[in-house]
Amino acid sequence: MFRIAVLDDYQDAAHELADWGSISDAELQFFHNTLHEPGALIKRLKPFNVLMTMRERTRFPAEVLEGLPNLRLISGTGRRQSNVDIATATRLGITVCSGAGGGGSAGSTAELTWALILSCFRHLALEDREIRQGHWQTRLGSGLEGKALGILGLGRIGTRVAKIGQAFGMHVISWGPTLTRERAKEHGVTYVSWEGLFSDADVLSIHVTLSDLSRGWVGAKEFGLMRPTAYLINTARSAIVDQSALLDALGNGSIAGAGLDVYDEEPLPPGDPMLGLDNTVLAPHLGYATRESLAAFYRDAIANVIAWQAGSPVNVENPDVLKKT
């Protein structure tokens, strides 16, 4: 009998989104909150043989993996398992698997991007609070037609965001580390320089992968280039943006505001300075968290467990571990 922990089921919805009975000889337990402190995480997960993770909500550095002697499989969701110390997992004989299709979350993230853009431009979150307090039309919003939409990274998600911007009658500009003028043109997008992306955009939306190259890309210099009427939207990863520089820009009026779905610490802790700003729209990392995407994530994760039980693991992130078995 395998003991399986299904982690970070924030909305207590995992049990209804997948066919858990298809896993044989398994005892499952669902956890609905995230633990960050290594000792507490080890204490919770020590009895389990298999962990089913939801993206990067829980991190597994070497210290944690070394404290889980019964662990044999991490069945992750999404295309990459950047939350796991792969080298340590391999050394300890722990197989790490990714989702086969990534969960198909590009569409849901693009949709949330537009929810944040519209909320910023029309001050929906602020006006919702005001109307509940008896006030009416407290701040003048702006339209999108004719505005410049800047996209940092014209990949799977960025191209979807661009198409919607074009439907709103926006002029779409983009820069990306591998983007060419020709490929941008194929999508009806104008290729611009790094500086031009920030100086010309009325709203700048981030859609690049976090890497050593992109970490801290958007900082004080970039915010200094932006218009005081412009908005920053981040549904990618918080570390792409220098958070101190972002707080300064929001506080001193260098930019008009921000729509954010990602943070350095998640869930966002009480007392975080972002919570005290009235020119931000904050979402609790909802980009991929739709019923459809989570169901696809869990389907892939379950398939990985079943294949591993059968002795033929698939979607393995650390194939060297197979040599140990």
Catalytic residue among 66, 111, 130, 266: 266
DSSP character for 268?
A: P
Question: Phi first, then psi: what are they for 99, rounded to 5°?
Answer: -75, 140
Which tokens sit at 219? Answer: 């900082």
Phi, psi of 259 (to 5 degrees): -115, 120
E strands, the chain, are: 2-6, 26-30, 50-52, 73-75, 95-97, 148-152, 171-175, 190-191, 203-206, 231-234, 257-260, 280-282
**Active-site entry in 160, 237, 299, 317:** 237
DSSP string covering 281-307, please? Answer: EE-SS-SS-SHHHHHHHHHHHHHHHHH
Q: Exposed, middle or buried, 169 (CB in 10 Å: 0-12/13-18/19+)?
A: exposed
Instruction: Determine whether 285 is an active site residue.
Output: yes
237 catalytic? Reply is: yes
* DSSP label at residue 96: E
Which two structure tokens, joined as six digits, stand for 321? Answer: 């571990």
d(CA 105, CA 103): 5
Residue of 160, 285, 299, 317 marked active site = 285
Give the tokens for residue 51: 């962990």
Q: Which two tokens stand for residue 75?
A: 């069945």
The answer to whether residue 266 is catalytic is yes
Residue the block writes with tokens 């992968």 = 209
State the catalytic residues: 237, 266, 285
